[in-house]
Amino acid sequence: MTDLETPAAAPSRTDALRRAAPALLGYAGVRALGLIALVSWSAANGKSAHTLLTARWDSLWYTRVAASGYGWQVRLPSGDVHSNLAFFPLLPWLERLVAALSPLSYADAGLLVSTLASLAAAWGVFAVADHLYGRRAGVCAALVWAVLPVGIVQSMAYSESLFTALAAWSLHSVLTGRWVTAGLLAALAGLTRPVGAAVVAALWVAAVTSFVRERSAPAAQGASRWRRALGMLVAPLGAAGYVLWVGHRTHRGPLGYLDVQAQWGNGFDGGYAFARFVGDKFTSFPSALAGAGLTVGVVLVICLYVSCVRQRQPLPLLVYSGIVTALALCASGYFGSKPRLLLPAFPLLLPLALALARLRTRRSAAILGAVAVGSAIYGAFWLNGSGPP
């Protein structure tokens, strides 16, 4: 038997919350610092921080889906059609639910959902790292995820926080042998973002590996096998259901969703378009500095993944972060979105978290504090400028 086949004894909710409290308090502090910087910077520029968080880019599309459902689209002068069918439904469903149960607008409901989801995501990141490497590493992992340069997205009415929460807790359920829970959370992740396929793949790989490794079949394992099989069956229902519905809605069959994404300029070309985009930066100055920064960023991401492999992370985490990273880096459109598309790939941060956990508390706190200040300033500058498309 493997450690993925026997559910771990679950602590009480009170004990689990108490154990995660330092991570959650630290995470909330980092996000509060980011919001203070954003409000101050926006006020100095005559802009509304609230508008920046709730009513720009993708958040507007989610709000429109919540308010009016699917079917709205924009036709560009080039003839391309941007349809709101490109946006998966779980976040707007939750926005509609919260708005129906409260006096909040759809936009504010989205902000509330994302805020709560970001805390759940930080808790999930902590839980995965804590399960593998201990509480100290778990706290560091949650804080490293909080202080990422594009961490301000975690405070926006976007779907990254919601997806990361579902993905992290699904992976934690896989690691602790709770297959049905893992499958249900994977299905919800599949209703949140297209990259939900990464969660499904991680669960399937873990489950298949567990089946293959079994050498005997005592009666006591029968229930575990059925739970594992049920989790595998449930996991892809969210993503598959929405994709098939879009295909039916557009009368284009199972590949209809890909056609919708293609109209947005999104596709998968193995990174060719992104490589050309980076290469073009080196044709002039000072854009060459941006090209160098992008190159360093890609190399850093790849090095982190190699570190995860050398760290011998559990296979589900490697599969999940590998797929998220590949889809983010090898997509053919919206190059400015790539940093935020990598936000859910939290297992990449575990080597950094372990390195910080080995330091003295004062030193790790000083490092994280300095990076948090830099992240807050960058997030305020970024969101008041080009922001996360």
**What is the SS3 string spanning 79-107?**
CCEEEHHHCCCHHHHHHHHHHHHCCCCHH
pLDDT at residue 235 in the model:
98
pLDDT at residue 215 in the model:
63
Q: Report the C-alpha gap between 273 and 32 in whole angstroms.
A: 37
Quote the longest CA-to-CA distance of the chain.
69
Which regions of the chain does DSSP assign to beta strands (E)? 73-75, 81-83
Where does the pLDDT of residue 183 fall: very low under 50, low under 70, confident under 90, or very high at 90 and above? very high
pTM of the model: 0.94
Where does the pLDDT of residue 76 fall: very low under 50, low under 70, confident under 90, or very high at 90 and above? confident
pLDDT at residue 222 in the model:
62
User: Which of 100, 104, 129 has the alpha carbon at shortest distance from 115?
Assistant: 104
